[in-house]
Amino acid sequence: MVVPFPIACGACFACQDGLYSVCENSNPNAGMAEKLMGHSPAAIFGYSHMLGGFPGGQAEYVRVPFADVGPIKIEDDLPDEKVLFLSDIFPTGFMGAEMCDIKPGQTIAVWGAGPVGQLAAASAFLLGADRVIVIDRFPYRLQRVLRTSAEVLNYEKVNVLDALRDMTGGRGPDACIDAVGMEAHHPTPAMYAYDRAKQAARLETERPYALREAIMACRNGGVVSVIGVYGGFVDKFPMGSVMNRSLTIRTGQCHVHRYTEPLLQRIRADEIDPSFVISHRMPLSEAPHAFELFKHKQDECNKVVLTV
């Protein structure tokens, strides 16, 4: 079985509209979320008490509310590693690319060469992008994303805005995907210190460097697709750039239920094998060690598969 990370009832207005990650019925702590966000999204496995307080999925057994909606049975003809990421990161990366409204010949830029960014790059090619440029600072992640045929930029070695202008004839990418989110790093110590200080003083909750840069880089009239996770408030948001240059921002926690079957068929058709992101395989008993490797980016840890 593959179980989506958002929990959805399948019957409410949002679910009927295909917006499963904003299900109106699955979050028992909706009131908490409404105070911060205005309205509550769906409950999510392992995503704080504000979004339901449901334990995460790295366990031998998981209780699945609304189990008749979303989880899909996988036949034995496919290995587990090919379909494992249908639960989360593959649909997330694909949705990030889909929200770009990609047309043949277009150039897509992706901030973040982690597993989600890698799958967003691969998905952009699936949807017809001519070029995909991925931005990160870790050589082992940039090396892995080359397997998707994407081009790469190390933001510690180049000025990303200048480089993207040069690579696109001065126009900028047709769409930009933020696959980084709230804990972004910035190569300039002063800029990094600014947001860290604001966080420490509880004046903002995020470090939105990648989002700011994606907005500034995108061509006039382009799309900024945000699949990196944000939880609260950001400072120095370039709304003037968004408004004056006719940019479209599209975002959301992934509506996984919408994508599991179509993406399963793409895997069956050998259009893509998402398991290319896997770098480590460990038993569940070594999960704490696996989290440390991933958190501190040790041993070129890209994605860990835990087995019972």
**pLDDT tens-digit series, residues 150-165:** 999 999 999 999 999 9
- Greatest Cα-to-Cα distance within the chain, rounded to the nearest angstrom: 53
Contact by Cβ (8 Å): 98, 127: yes
- From CA 48, how far away is CA 50, in angstroms rounded? 5
Q: What pairs with residue 153 in β-bridges? A: 135
Structure confidence by residue, pLDDT tens digits, 120-143: 999 999 999 999 999 999 999 999
Kindly report the CA angle at 271 between 268 and 276, in degrees rounded to 5?
95
> pTM for this one?
0.95
User: Locate tokens 């992706």: which residue?
Assistant: 110
Structure confidence by residue, pLDDT tens digits, 197-237: 998 998 899 999 999 999 999 999 999 999 999 998 999 99
DSSP string, 68-93: TSS-B---TTS-HHHHGGGGTHHHHH
- From CA 21, how far away is CA 38, in angstroms rounded? 15
At residue 151, φ and ψ (nearest 5 deg) are: -90, 160
